[in-house]
A and B are shown apart, each in its own frame.
Chain A
Amino acid sequence: MAEPIPAPDTPPRLPPPPFERINDFPDGLSPMLVKELRQGLRTQTFVVLFLSLQAVLAFLLLIAAPIADTNAPAKAGEAVSAIIFCVYALGILVIQPLRGISAVAGEIKQNTIDLMVLTRLSAWRIVSGKWLSIMSQSALITLAILPYLILRYFFGGMQLFAELALMACLLIVSGALTAFTIGMSSGSALLRGLIVVGGSTFMMGYVLFGLSQQIPYLIEVLSFTRSDQSLTLLAVLAIALYACYFFLEIGTTSIAPASENRATRKRLIGLAVMVGSYLLLHPVGPEPALITALIIAGCMALDLFSEQVKFPSVVCRRFVRLGPFGRVAGRFLYPGWATGALFFCGITLILFLLIYMTNPDPKQFSYAAIGLGTLAFPAALLQIFARKSSNLFSFYSTLLVLCFILTCIVFTIHGTASGSQFLWLFSFIPASLLPIVSQTSPSPEQSTALLLSFLVPGIYLLFLLGRAFSHLMALSGMESQALADLDEKTS
């Protein structure tokens, strides 16, 4: 029998704690970004997506190379480009943005948001950190795909700069979509479900059947040979960047303390982008300019009509310091749907003024009124049926989506049936008047539609202002309180 091993004099040396590992990211990076990257790079979604893209693209090039040797190499190259862009777009326009859909909701559900609020992280840093993390991973995917695009150069017929620019543009659009899902992730489960199912189906359909057809055109646009196309592209990029900011602000607002006024900045930036993009795009044509302005107004409306109306008087301090001018500005810029309704009326007037200055065609005014009225309609419904809801944002977004779907159905039925009687039935949704208003030949029917296109939105706006009246009156009391606090602080 073997002799027992004598006990050592000193206990066995344990491996040192892995403290060095916490220096894997520099101190200068946002803590939120570090956290999200550490988690995100380990998720199966990212790893599987990253490896699948590599496998698919490597396989594709292996097949394409022999074909290109025998047949027309330029044709094979174009096909390879289209496939690379489709696969890439599926990754960064569908899968990556969907990863943001539970970003804020997850933190709230897990009760970890309180723990973060108690640190030095602001709500904006929390939300933007989540966005940056997903975008970093999207950028990583982009970098990983670049070699395949360069390899495709050897097939010939490639416009290298334009194709790289297209890749960058898709990345920017991916940023906007990711911001959209992160912003919406504070909404209700129903809304998130709609986005996951409806949004991903729509985007997947667009990538597979729309984008793949548009790639040659997009590459032509990105060659920057025509000034109007370049302006359009700039406007689209401006909208995408604004969408990034706007939807990240939506997410931020949902977790920020009530004493933090985020409404003023959001509204002023939105207004500036709307006016800027309208003026930028007007040389291209009045319709693209108006559509762009209405899209931005739509983004703003999501927030304007759904902000909680209560906020602490501390928010008023900066305005009351400016005297009567500040108080008037406050009526448009304080948080809450009541001031939001007033601000929306301001947007309407500014858009009409822009049209008047650039292209005073009655139809343009009518289109603007129809667009803005369609945005005001769900807000009016909200004030009738769900005024006291704690999640006005989800309600408004859902109603707006339902209005959009209903309008599409009405247009489809109108397209198959003769006559416009059917459209009049749905004139409570101003957008349903569009086919009549846009008729080329003037008719009594069109005149009525033009009249209605101003009347119906006007009624909605008046109704909203009526509902907002008591809240707007109550602002004076809050301003007095803020003034008293300021006096107390000074004394």
Chain B
Amino acid sequence: MSAAISVRLLYRYFGTIKAVNGISFDIPHGSVCGFVGANGAGKTTTMRMLATLDYPTMGSAEICGVSVVNHPDKVRSLIGWMPDHFGNYEHMTVLEYLDFYARALGYTGNERRSRIEEVMAFADLVPLADRLSNKLSKGMTQRLCLGRALLHDPQVLIMDEPAAGLDPRARVELKHLIRILAEEGKTIFISSHILSELGEMCDSLLFINAGRIIHHGDAESLKHGSDEAGGAFYDIQVDDRPDSVSDWVVLNPDVEVIESRKKGARIRISSAEPAKAADVLRKMVRDGVRVTEFHREERNLEDAFIDILGQIEQGNADIEPSGELQTSPPQAIRELLENTDSSPLQSPPSTEPEEGNSGGTSPLSS
């Protein structure tokens, strides 16, 4: 069975700016995947393309096997989209807000009412039914937006920074709702700056930097270390000069000092295999380092992200686990770039526009 979200060599260039630069990844059905990256890394652009709100310059993206480029209308019925920021309407209550979107999605009569009732109950919006939608707190607004995104019961939820600006309680509530949705079998693709939260609720994490995927793996391997994540981290304490660890490391290329500490150092061993750690310890002791403590450290996700970025900068990491990324754009892209003026490339979606609602993005909103 195809993945819920499948992206292959996706590019999005705005003039000469490479917002998304040939990314590929798969997200299986029913999983929660965190999308992590600095501001301007390409998260929102990628998500907008998946939500059919923007065209890729080149490459393909599929939601449940349906191409976002060729069949945007079908994709729209499969996804729920929560943007990073949006405004609510004036003079409109929460109930009317949901009713408008339910009508716009084509629900009528009792079905409309039951869909609204269902999402209001799920997102705990019933007490807010009569409140004006533009007078809600940030947390309530995000619940309302989640309710709106769930009105048509989508299989895939794409959430761009849903926790941004939320207070701790609202974050916990949102996390709880996301976990329930995941348990119901929905695929959730969520971006956030708060990595610790993503680590708790995501089955996998996707790191993006400068438009390229720099890591895709589960949160556990990032915390405990893995060969793909650059090895494992250990805290060493010695009954000697703290520098003795650094002196020893110089002669051992498989080991690197990450941080010198009061009684020793924090080191990284290039392989996460326990046998390798045992070898390193044995060698240290044999070489006369007076080790008193040696234990594997769990990294927080921020450190993991920074480490991976550091490795990228040093040029000693595979940028994409799948190995499908090309270091320079394909010839076709280069030709396109040479032939364009300065405006964003409008890649031709090969879909036939349908009466009433056709594919692609609005020119002003992109």
Q: Residues on A close to B: CB < 8 A? A: 17-19, 21-23, 27, 31-32, 34-35, 38-39, 42-43, 108-123, 125, 186, 254-261, 308, 310-314, 317, 388, 390, 478, 481, 485, 488
Contacts and interface: CB of A to CB of B under 8 A. Distances in A.
A313 to B, nearest CB: 4
16 contacts: A19-B116, A21-B96, A22-B116, A32-B104, A35-B100, A42-B91, A43-B90, A109-B87, A114-B86, A117-B361, A122-B355, A122-B356, A186-B364, A257-B360, A259-B359, A313-B348
A186 B100 CA distance: 23
Interface string B8-30: 00000000000000000000000
Nearest to A317: B352
B359 A257 contact: yes
Contact of B95 (A21, A35, A121, A122): A21
B362 A256 contact: yes
A155 to B, nearest CB: 40
B129 A261 contact: no
Interface stretch (B218-226, B229-237, B264-272, B339-347): B339-347
A35 B113 contact: no
B358 A260 contact: yes
Contacts of A125: 356
A254 B101 CA distance: 22
B349 A259 contact: yes
B61 to A, nearest CB: 16
B98 to A, nearest CB: 8
Contacts of A117: 53, 361-362, 365
A171 B226 CA distance: 72
The residue among B51, B130, B355, B357 with the most chain A CB atoms within 10 A of its own CB is: B357
A116 B95 contact: no
A121 B116 CA distance: 18
Interface string B274-289: 0000000000000000
Given A21-B95, A43-B91, A260-B353, A115 B148 contact: yes
B104 A314 contact: no
A308 B52 CA distance: 21
Contact of B83 (A23, A27, A114, A485): A114
Given A31-B104, A111-B87, A308-B363, A314 B76 contact: no
A418 B343 CA distance: 50
Given A31-B104, A39-B92, A112-B89, A17 B120 contact: yes
Nearest to A44: B91
B62 interface: no
Nearest to A31: B103
B315 interface: no
B99 interface: yes
Interface string B113-138: 10011001000001001100000000
A146 B139 CA distance: 48
B349 A111 contact: no
A390 B364 CA distance: 9
Given A27-B112, A111-B86, A314 B92 contact: no
B357 A122 contact: yes
Contacts of A311: 346
B73 to A, nearest CB: 9
B109 A27 contact: yes
B86 A112 contact: yes
Given A43-B90, A258-B346, A314-B350, 6 more contacts: A38-B100, A111-B83, A111-B365, A120-B106, A257-B360, A260-B360
B358 A108 contact: no
B81 interface: yes
Contacts of A18: 95, 129-130
B222 to A, nearest CB: 32
B108 interface: yes
A118 B362 contact: no
Nearest to A254: B364
A114 B89 contact: no
A35 B96 CA distance: 8
B38 interface: no
A120 B184 CA distance: 26
B105 interface: yes
Contacts of B365: 108, 111, 113-114, 117, 255
B351 interface: yes
Given A114-B53, A255-B362, A120 B342 contact: no
Nearest to B340: A310
Leading 4 A-B pairs by shortest Cβ distance: A110-B87, A257-B360, A31-B103, A119-B104
Contacts of B113: 19, 22-23
B85 interface: yes
A69 B103 CA distance: 56
Given A117-B361, A255-B364, A259-B359, A314 B349 contact: yes
B86 A388 contact: no
B350 A118 contact: no
Nearest to A23: B113
Residue among B76, B79, B95, B358 having the largest count of chain A Cβ atoms under 10 Å: B358
Contacts of B90: 39, 43
A116 B342 CA distance: 29
Interface in B309-366: 341-343, 346-353, 355-365
Given A17-B117, A261-B353, A115 B81 contact: yes
A123 B120 CA distance: 28
Contact of A485 (B53, B88, B96, B350): B350
B15 to A, nearest CB: 10
Contacts of B359: 257, 259
Contacts of A21: 95-96
B104 A116 contact: yes
A485 to B, nearest CB: 5
Contacts of A32: 104
Nearest to A109: B87
B53 A314 contact: no
B105 to A, nearest CB: 5
B96 A22 contact: yes
A107 to B, nearest CB: 9
Contacts of A121: 104, 357
A257 B358 contact: yes
Given A27-B112, A312-B360, A112 B349 contact: no
A259 B106 CA distance: 23
Contacts of B363: 254-258, 308
B152 to A, nearest CB: 9
Nearest to A42: B91
Nearest to B100: A35
A34 B109 CA distance: 15
B32 to A, nearest CB: 21
A27 B106 CA distance: 9
A112 B347 CA distance: 24
Contact of A27 (B52, B91, B108, B117): B108
Contact of B91 (A19, A31, A38): A38
A88 B83 CA distance: 43
B54 to A, nearest CB: 10
Contact of B346 (A115, A123, A310): A310
A485 B87 CA distance: 39
Contact of B343 (A22, A38, A114, A390): A390
B360 A39 contact: no
A116 B100 CA distance: 10
A122 B357 CA distance: 5
